[in-house]
Structure 1
Amino acid sequence: MSILRCKFTKEKDMIYISHLDLQRLLQRSLRRAGIKVSYSQGFNPHPKISFGQALSLGTVSFGEYIDIELDEDISEDDFLTRINNALPDGVKFLKAVCIDKSIPSLMSSISHGSYTLEIKVNDNITIDDIKAKIDEFMKKDEIVFIKKTKKGKLKEVNIRPLIRRLNEVSLEDNILILNAIISTGSSGNLNPNTLVEKLSEVSNLNMDIDNIKIIRNDLYSEDNKKLITPI
């Protein structure tokens, strides 16, 4: 019996399946691969599989993580070969590492995500102008977002502490590419769309906020103020 912590990608047509459908897809693929997954005890046993922070529909990711408890001993290379042969195009396992049961769960340990954001800018503006606006944006102590709670009430949330890093990469043919590291965990979570919406509003940038291409590059936990990947 062992626990494998795995890193995988989700792209192409697979970005349009929900997190629940992804869970089902991976369970079917594990069965097709003949990989023996451990199940919980009780009246309604379920596979011992746990994920990191769920990915929003339509988002490409090159850094998703999953913990799988197995009922067999299998080498990491053999596991990767068998699972990838059983998966559809658009989902690929990149790495698998055996971990100890004492290691904190992905959901409890992941705190940040790294994103690439591609947005159309509707004004004639230079990359230097955008850099200056982002610098001013990041100097603010408070950036308030009005959030609707599950009970339908409106709540003010200061999202500034949730933005660890934001910088411009390029501006070409009015397409702006940004890199961001933001809170992406159970103790704090910032939607990349919300980040772009507030940047556009606060910095007076005329951007097409309804059509943002989002790529999640990786997920991280924090150790002594340093970000580290789960494996």
Structure 2
Amino acid sequence: MPRYRIEYRKEGMARFISHLDLVRTLERAMRRAGLPLAFSRGFNPHPRFSLGAPLPVGVMGEREYLDLELVTALPEDEIKGRLNEQLPGGLEVTRVWSIPEDAPALMATLEKATYRVDLRLVRAITPEDLRKIIDGLLALPEIIITRRSGDKKEKTLDIRPGIHALSGRVEGNRVTLEMCLAVGSRATVRPEEVVQVLAERFGLPVADEQPGVSRTGLYCGG
């Protein structure tokens, strides 16, 4: 059956939609768009589509992806147009293209994600201060953190291998960090964990408030 990869944005108020609600919203838009959807088998069939790495609530996504199966091929621009007519504000399809029917599952191929993190500081620092803080983190051979799972169990893990790149710039009392982190079924590093290490171990004077986080891209290995 024809398979398509769909690139979309999740921004504005839509960034507060949970992953489960996003799946429901996308399914509703697909049905209303009248696409010739392929369905799973079983007692409660669902359209055959799968998303990339889940986006945490409150985080914007500039280039998110999903794979969709249809029973009849359609022009990519038609799929894009039909979906955008049905999607709510803050969700927009930006690109659609065909992929082979036997292409690996999207989640299995993703290995890296890039993020932009905007932070307010409680005191001013210089660009040189920020460079030293970032260099200090990148020089560490390992970074052991404690992560709490959904069932409130705690586990320790080394996130240093999953920090592929980190840079930043100072603008007044704000810092913008650019990160490339591991993501996918094998390992994931969260932007807030990197910020916590920068604050607690290297003295980045971050204000006690939620940072502005945007995931700017998702990438396969290589």
- TM-score norm. by structure 1 comes to 0.92
Match of 1:14 in 2: 14
Look up the equivalent residue of 1:126 and give its one-letter code: T
Distance in 2, Cα, partners of 1:79 & 1:45: 22
* SS of residue paired to 1:189: coil
Distance in 1, Cα, partners of 2:102 & 2:68: 14
Identity score, percent: 32
Q: Does 1:172 align with 2:147?
A: no
Match of 2:147 in 1: 147
Match of 1:202 in 2: 201
Match of 2:54 in 1: 54
Match of 1:2 in 2: 2
Q: Does 1:118 align with 2:112?
A: no
Which runs of 5 or more residues in structure 1 are unaligned? 224-231
Match of 1:229 in 2: none
Match of 1:87 in 2: 87
Distance in 2, Cα, partners of 1:26 & 1:150: 25
Q: 1:150 to 1:132 in 2, by over 3 A?
A: same
Match of 1:43 in 2: 43
* SS of residue paired to 2:221: strand
* SS of residue paired to 1:72: coil
Once the 2 structures are TM-superposed, how far is the Cα of residue 151 of structure 1 from its aligned partner? 5.7
Q: Does 1:66 align with 2:74?
A: no
Once the 2 structures are TM-superposed, how far is the Cα of residue 125 of structure 1 from its aligned partner? 1.2
Distance in 2, Cα, partners of 1:179 & 1:32: 38
Once the 2 structures are TM-superposed, how far is the Cα of residue 47 of structure 1 from its aligned partner? 1.2
* SS of residue paired to 1:178: strand
Once the 2 structures are TM-superposed, how far is the Cα of residue 152 of structure 1 from its aligned partner? 4.3
Pairs within 5 Å for 1:184-195: 184-195=183-194
Once the 2 structures are TM-superposed, how far is the Cα of residue 149 of structure 1 from its aligned partner? 4.6
Tell me if the contact between 1:6 and 1:93 (Cα under 8 Å) persists in the aligned partners: yes
Distance in 1, Cα, partners of 2:150 & 2:118: 30
Once the 2 structures are TM-superposed, how far is the Cα of residue 101 of structure 1 from its aligned partner? 2.0
Look up the equivalent residue of 1:216 and give its one-letter code: R
Tell me if the contact between 1:36 and 1:72 (Cα under 8 Å) persists in the aligned partners: yes
Deviations 1:37-96 (A, max 9, x none): 100122221210101000000111111100000011100011111111111111010111
Q: 1:210 to 1:35 in 2, by over 3 A?
A: same
Distance in 2, Cα, partners of 1:172 & 1:63: 25
Q: 1:78 to 1:44 in 2, by over 3 A?
A: same
Count of residue pairs the alignment pairs up: 222
Tell me if the contact between 1:115 and 1:215 (Cα under 8 Å) persists in the aligned partners: yes
Look up the equivalent residue of 1:92 and give its one-letter code: E
Tell me if the contact between 1:193 and 1:209 (Cα under 8 Å) persists in the aligned partners: no
Distance in 2, Cα, partners of 1:25 & 1:4: 18
Tell me if the contact between 1:122 and 1:208 (Cα under 8 Å) persists in the aligned partners: yes
Tell me if the contact between 2:124 and 2:172 (Cα under 8 Å) persists in the aligned partners: no
* SS of residue paired to 1:4: strand
* SS of residue paired to 2:183: strand
Look up the equivalent residue of 2:205 and give its one-letter code: N
Look up the equivalent residue of 1:47 and give its one-letter code: P
Tell me if the contact between 1:196 and 1:209 (Cα under 8 Å) persists in the aligned partners: no
Once the 2 structures are TM-superposed, how far is the Cα of residue 150 of structure 1 from its aligned partner? 5.5
Distance in 1, Cα, partners of 2:52 & 2:63: 10
- TM-score norm. by structure 2 comes to 0.95
Which runs of 5 or more residues in structure 2 are unaligned? none
Match of 1:132 in 2: 132
Match of 1:109 in 2: 109
Look up the equivalent residue of 2:192 and give its one-letter code: N
